[in-house]
Structure 1
Amino acid sequence: MGTDHVVIRRAGDSDAAEMADVWLRSFTAALPTVQRPHDDAQVREWFASVVVPAHESWVAVADGGLVGLLVLDHSELEQLYLDPQWRGQGLGDRFVDLAKRQRPDGLHLWTFQVNGPARRFYERHGFVAVEWTDGRHNEENEPDIRYMWRP
């Protein structure tokens, strides 16, 4: 596919529903063993009422549809999800580069320990694991890892 024809732009309120759909498809594909604490309708409401209005949100658009999203909350890379068919095409690299440009003083993020591909991806981009938890403090009750990137 390649990402040459993909446009990355700031998200607007009208993107919330498609962002939620990408998130749901990606989460389901990447994390089949992780129990989601919210149903699809609640995820869609969260994107519409919290994510897009309250956070710096970016979307990737190709062929008229959303294929990825990036959400930054202060220094936290809060969300980076790609439509499953867009994995391995370089789009995630473009989103991380954008996040680093937007937060040149550094970033942190959380990912589930079970998500080996995400861990390898972030480590390849210079993120270092700084904290491992038993999952007691996330809604999924899933062991996770906090990563940091410093320029």
Structure 2
Amino acid sequence: MTSNDPTISLRRATAPDAAAVADVWLRSFDAALPTVVRPRSDDEVRDYFREVVVPLRETWVADAVGGGGITGRIVGVMVLNGELLSQLYLDPDWRGRGIGDRFVTLAKERSPGGLHLWTFQVNKPAHRFYERHGFVAVEHTDGSGNEEREPDVRYVWQP
């Protein structure tokens, strides 16, 4: 890390963060899952984050502050809903910097009794990431239970 590198802080999202959170989700989804058809438009995704995710879920952001002229930019999002880790997305330019690791550590602290999540079967990098963090695949589906109609995998972490 050089003096021009930003500091990454994790914090709870607030209402003014909703647009930036949705934009991170959109960029990440499109980069990581190019073959998965999204059933909602960009505007519908933004509305969902503004009206549901940020105000009603335990939403955390990774904020890049300082270094190289950055004055504060959301580069990652994690959403918890009880023991469900329902979202973990990073801006594609910020992958591989340990932010996802920090989010998973935080999720485990917030839900020490265990966590579960769903990811698409085509998302092999996510499988490797979660397995590295002790999650185990316990169920594979044909995708009939999700709105994308994309085969998925349920992962569980137990302490």
TM-score category by the smaller chain?
over 0.9
Q: What is the CA–CA distance in structure 1 between the aligned matches of 2:127 and 2:60, rounded to whole Å? A: 21
Between the two proteins, what is the percent identity of the paired residues?
65
Tell me which residue corresponds to 2:149: 141
After TM superposition, the score normalised by the length of structure 1 is 0.97
Q: Does 1:16 align with 2:18?
A: yes
Q: How does 1:74-93 map to 2 (within 5 A)?
A: 74-93=82-101
**What stretches of structure 2 of length at least 5 have no aligned partner?**
65-69
Higher CA-based Rg? 2
Report how many aligned residue pairs link the two structures.
151
Q: What amino acid is the match of 1:34? A: V
Tell me which residue corresponds to 1:101: 109
Q: Does 1:125 align with 2:95?
A: no
Tell me which residue corresponds to 1:112: 120
Report the secondary structure of 2:150's partner residue: coil
After TM superposition, the score normalised by the length of structure 2 is 0.92
The structure 2 residue matched to 1:31, chosen from 30, 33, 36, is 33
Residue by residue over 1:95-134, the C-alpha shift from the partner in whole angstroms, topping out at 9 and shown as x without a partner, is 0000000000000000000000000000000000010000
Tell me which residue corresponds to 1:69: 77
Q: What amino acid is the match of 1:136? A: S
Tell me which residue corresponds to 2:58: 56
Pairwise CA distance, 1:44: 0.1
Structure 1 segments of 4 or more deviating over 2 A? 1-4
Pairwise CA distance, 1:53: 1.0
